Amino acid sequence: MKLLVVEDEALLRHHLHTRLTEAGHVVDAVGDAEEALFRADEFNHDLAVVDLGLPGMDGMELIRQLRSKGYTFPVLILTARGNWQHKVEGLAAGADDYVVKPFQFEELEARLNALLRRSSGFVQSTIEAGVLSLDLNRKQARVNGEVLQLTAYEYRILEYLMRNHQQVIAKERLMEQLYPNDEERDANVVEVLVGRLRRKLEGGNGFRPIETVRGQGYIFNEHCR
Amino acid sequence: MTPPRNKNFSLRARLMLGATVMVFVFLLGLYPALQQIFTRALEQAVEQRLAADASALVSAARVVDGRLHMPDKLPDEEFPVLPARQLGFIYDSQGQLVWRSRSAANHKVDYQPRYDGRGHVFTRAWDQQGQAFFVYDVEIDLLRGSSAAYSIITMQPVRDYRPMYKSLKRQLYVWLAGSLVFLVGFLWLGLVWGTRSLRYLGRELDEVENGQRKALSDEHPNELLRLTRSLNRLLNSERRQSQKYMHSLDDLAHSLKTPLAVLQGVGEVLAQQPGNTEQARTLQTQVGRMSQQIGYQLQRASLRKSGLLRHRVRLEPVVQTLLDALNKVYHDKYIKVEQLYPADLRMPVEQGALYEMLGNLLENAYRLCLGHIRISAGKTADHYELVIEDDGPGVPACQRERILQRGARLDTQNPGQGIGTAVVKDIIESYDGQLQIEDSTLGGASFRILLPLN
């Protein structure tokens, strides 16, 4: 998933960037609200982690502006003050959950995953589509109960397509899921990855949920629940 | 410390009582004076009347050969009529009775004139039955040109004037009582008008306390303007101080907790490397303790009670805002929240403190419940009550005592407890209230908050 992290403290931002990338996300980490608004306009994010105590425009105002611009991705607040008036104000401004500093990374990750699941309409941590089941916590795919050996990139593409099932997804969107913004991109990589993923899913049972929409992108055409 | 119970009367009641007593005493003093004035006026009228009677006697009298002659029928009919109302006597200069009116035939009034040829006397005398008479005694030395030394005495029973006197006394009572009622009524109206500005000031203060108004208005009498302006300055300065304080606390929290978050992250990274586990755990434990202490102390510091304002915060909007927030966070948990309290109930707590108390208790309830929470509140004869119940696992008896122990330090408490309950307890204690932990009929814990009425 592509995450926007807004934290002014460089060390903490770096830590979040590293740990979230390790956890399989593509992280866009910025130090202030203006940059965050710019990134939100430029790229498609699935979730934002926003520190409330930002220099200049504060986190609360950033969340308000993101919402007023029509961005619906979930927002998780990081706050130093654990008081309820702050939390309530943040949630009322448009955030979906909060984590009080300092936090354990596992807690943050669990909250992020819960928000991501919820935003794609899945309550459980497993997404099922016919014979295929995707365990979002273990980041594992199974077909008929058999674990599929997927690379991290293949898994990201599959998870993204399944979260956005029955919608056409442009190649560029998938690219954003794979690489941070400033890295060199090659559109062919997505085609290669999708081709490998299809072969692994098909295996010996003829299961072909991913279809190509010519000139537009891909669609996961199996109903997910 | 609870403020002493106000047993004093209101300012208006005091002024009213004082003025009523004053008017009453004044009228009480006025009564004998008025009575005396009337008595004097009455006596003067009687004297004039008796003098007129005496003149009538003088004009009827004749002296023939040195002897007094009185006609059988006097011009004033009253003298001969029985029973007498007015009596007439004539004495010579030696004090010998020479004539008495027919009405005076049966009366022996104890009065003896002493002739000196000049002037007149108006006095009282009594007969043998003890009946009082007004007596008018005039002495003459000439009668129709001839010298004649006589004392002419006319009398009238005092009894004749008693009904008039009584009726006047009654009228005086009625008038004075009427004046008293009238004056007290006017005083009351005046006081109502005079103290209206104080009542208006009280209403404005209530509005300031309820947060409907930021400052007192300038529409007060000159005598109160200095007070209201000073109060406004005090309110402003307290508000500014409090904002500055909150900002400082925010900055402090941010500048302490962000590095702690970095340290926490470093600890987690270290813990992943073999050989560092022990040090990493120590680092993480210490970071955890520091963060808990900082969080606890900052929250305590931010919840100081305002010395100037008596807060009355409506419960319903605070609960609703918190429920909206918590429903967002615990979106996947389908929780039924029952709310049993009057919609206009106000709690005697500062808004921030109410948010903390309810936020912490409700979050615990949301986290631990299976699917049912009950919030009930009300005002009884001697306290406000707020109860948060859930159908979760409840609080074990051993932990209840630890939580409720007065002045218990946070670090002696169960590390898993978090600072939530400790902050709740602190707030309640700062308002001289009580926290009770019981079993709920829903099956889980019941946190009961009792706050004193004032």
Q: Please state whether the peptide bond connecting residue A102 to the residue before it is cis, i.e. omega within 30 degrees of 0.
A: yes
| Cβ atoms A38, A57 nearer than 8 A | no
Asked if pLDDT for residue A190 goes beyond 70, the answer is: yes
Residues 82-101 of A with CB under 8 A from B: 82-85, 87-88, 91-92, 96-98, 100-101
Map out the domains of chain B as residue ranges. 8-213, 224-302, 313-452
In Å, how far is A127's CA from the nearest CA of chain B? 16
3-state SS record for B422-438: HHHHHHHHHCCCEEEEE
State mean pLDDT over B180-190: 90
Does A15 lie at the interface with B, CB-CB under 8 angstroms?
A: yes
Asked if pLDDT for residue B378 goes beyond 90, the answer is: yes
Task: Supply B315's token pair.
Answer: 């419960």
Asked if pLDDT for residue A6 goes beyond 90, the answer is: yes
Q: Please state whether the peptide bond connecting residue B113 to the residue before it is cis, i.e. omega within 30 degrees of 0.
A: no
- Give the SS3 label for residue B441: coil
| pLDDT tens figures, A68-117 | 999 989 999 998 877 888 889 889 899 999 998 888 888 899 899 889 88
Query: Do strands B372-379 and B383-390 pair parallel, antiparallel, or not at all (unpaired)?
Result: antiparallel
Pick B7 or B292 by higher pLDDT. B292
Task: Supply A181's token pair.
Answer: 């913004």
Query: Do strands B383-390 and B346-347 pair parallel, antiparallel, or not at all (unpaired)?
Result: unpaired
Give the model's pLDDT for residue B305.
66
In Å, how far is B333's CA from the nearest CA of chain A? 10
pLDDT category of residue B359 using cuts at 50, 70 and 90: very high
* Chain centre distance of CA B259: 59
Give the model's pLDDT for residue B448.
94
Asked if pLDDT for residue B426 goes beyond 70, the answer is: yes
Task: Report, at the CATH architecture level, how domain A2-119 is classified.
Answer: 3-Layer(aba) Sandwich (3.40)
d(CA A49, CA A95): 9
Pick A169 or B299 by higher pLDDT. A169
d(CA B204, CA A136): 59
| pLDDT tens figures, B38-63 | 889 989 999 998 998 888 888 888 88
Pick B439 or B277 by higher pLDDT. B439
DSSP class of residue B103?
Answer: G
pLDDT above 90 covers a percentage of chain B that reads 19
Q: Inspect the interface and report whether the beta carbons of A102 and B260 lie closer than 8 Å.
A: yes
Helices (H) and strands (E) in chain A, counts: 8, 12
Q: Inspect the interface and report whether the beta carbons of A104 and B331 lie closer than 8 Å.
A: no
- Which of A26, A37, A83 minimizes the C-alpha distance to A59? A37
| B262, B272, B284, B294, best to mutate vs chain A, most A CBs in 10 Å | B262
Give the model's pLDDT for residue A182.
58
Give the model's pLDDT for residue B415.
38
In chain B, whose CA is at the least distance from the CA of A117?
A: B332
Q: Give Cβ neighbours of residue B419 (< 8 Å, ≥ 6 apart).
A: A82, B292, B295, B296, B299, B410
In Å, how far is B186's CA from the nearest CA of chain A? 53
* Chain centre distance of CA A181: 14
State mean pLDDT over B429-451: 91
Region of poorest pLDDT, from B4-13, B328-337, B420-429:
B4-13
| A7, A85, A122, best to mutate vs chain B, most B CBs in 10 Å | A85
| Cβ atoms A210, A168 nearer than 8 A | no
Give this complex's ipTM: 0.72
| pLDDT tens figures, A130-182 | 888 888 877 889 888 888 888 888 888 898 898 888 888 888 888 888 877 65
d(CA A180, CA A31): 16
Residue A172 carries which side chain, given as an amino acid letter?
Answer: E
Give the model's pLDDT for residue B82.
44
| pLDDT tens figures, B215-224 | 888 888 888 8
In Å, how far is A48's CA from the nearest CA of chain B? 15
Task: Supply A23's token pair.
Answer: 């956890």
Contacts of B250 in chain A (CB under 8 A): 53, 80-81
* CATH number corresponding to A126-220: 1.10.10.10
| pLDDT tens figures, A43-72 | 889 999 999 888 899 999 999 999 999 998
Mean of all residue pLDDT scores within chain B: 83
Asked if pLDDT for residue B190 goes beyond 60, the answer is: yes
Asked if pLDDT for residue B145 goes beyond 50, the answer is: yes
State mean pLDDT over B430-453: 90
| pLDDT tens figures, B57-87 | 888 888 877 788 888 777 655 555 444 478 8
pLDDT category of residue B4 using cuts at 50, 70 and 90: very low
Task: Report, at the CATH architecture level, how domain B224-302 is classified.
Answer: Orthogonal Bundle (1.10)
pLDDT above 70 covers a percentage of chain A that reads 97
Residue B396 carries which side chain, given as an amino acid letter?
Answer: P
Does B177 lie at the interface with A, CB-CB under 8 angstroms?
A: no
Give the model's pLDDT for residue A146.
86
Q: Please, what is the angle between helix B11-60 and helix B162-209, to 10°?
A: 160
Q: Give Cβ neighbours of residue B43 (< 8 Å, ≥ 6 apart).
A: B122, B134
For Cα atoms A116, A119, A124, give the angle at the middle one, nearest 5 degrees: 70
Give the model's pLDDT for residue A208.
87
Same CATH fold assignment for domains B224-302 and B313-452: no
In chain A, whose CA is at the least distance from the CA of B418?
A: A82
Contacts of A80 in chain B (CB under 8 A): 250, 253-254, 256-258
Asked if pLDDT for residue B425 goes beyond 50, the answer is: yes
| Cβ atoms B430, B307 nearer than 8 A | no
- Give the SS3 label for residue B351: helix
Phi and psi torsions of B324, nearest 5°: -60, -45
What residues are paired with A50 via a beta bridge? Answer: A6, A77
Give the model's pLDDT for residue A180.
72
Q: Inspect the interface and report whether the beta carbons of A104 and B259 lie closer than 8 Å.
A: no
Q: Inspect the interface and report whether the beta carbons of A97 and B302 lie closer than 8 Å.
A: no
Q: Inspect the interface and report whether the beta carbons of B258 and A100 lie closer than 8 Å.
A: no
Torsion, Cα B435 B441 B442 B446, to 10 degrees, reads 0
Give the model's pLDDT for residue B411.
42
How many residues make up chain B in this entry? Answer: 454
d(CA A11, CA B262): 6
In chain A, ranges of CATH 1.10.10.10 domains:
126-220
Torsion, Cα B175 B178 B179 B182, to 10 degrees, reads -160
pLDDT category of residue B135 using cuts at 50, 70 and 90: very high
Does B424 lie at the interface with A, CB-CB under 8 angstroms?
A: no
pLDDT category of residue B309 using cuts at 50, 70 and 90: low
Q: Inspect the interface and report whether the beta carbons of A92 and B324 lie closer than 8 Å.
A: yes
d(CA B228, CA B351): 24
Contacts of A84 in chain B (CB under 8 A): 322, 355-356, 358-360
| pLDDT tens figures, A15-51 | 999 999 998 899 999 999 999 999 999 988 999 999 9
Contacts of B261 in chain A (CB under 8 A): 9, 12, 78, 101-103
pLDDT category of residue B375 using cuts at 50, 70 and 90: very high
| Cβ atoms B94, B77 nearer than 8 A | no
Dihedral sign for Cα A204, A205, A210, A215, please.
positive
Q: Give Cβ neighbours of residue B84 (< 8 Å, ≥ 6 apart).
A: B78, B101, B102, B103, B104, B106, B107
Task: Supply A30's token pair.
Answer: 């910025």
Superfamily of the domain at B313-452: Histidine kinase-like ATPase, C-terminal domain (3.30.565.10)
Quickly tell me which residue has 């590293």 as its tokens: A18
In chain A, ranges of CATH 3.40.50.2300 domains:
2-119
Give the model's pLDDT for residue B397.
81
Q: Inspect the interface and report whether the beta carbons of A103 and B259 lie closer than 8 Å.
A: no
CB nearest B355 (choices: A85, A96, A114)? A85
Asked if pLDDT for residue B33 goes beyond 50, the answer is: yes
CB nearest A102 (choices: B264, B356, B419)? B264
Pick B418 or B433 by higher pLDDT. B433
Give the model's pLDDT for residue B409.
45
DSSP B233-287: HHHHHHHHHHHHHHHHHHHHHHHHHHHHHHHHHHHHHHHHSTT-HHHHHHHHHHH
- Which of B93, B90, B92, B109 minimizes the C-alpha distance to B101? B90
- Which of A174, A172, A177, A170 minimizes the C-alpha distance to A214? A170
Q: How many CB pairs under 8 A join A and B?
A: 94
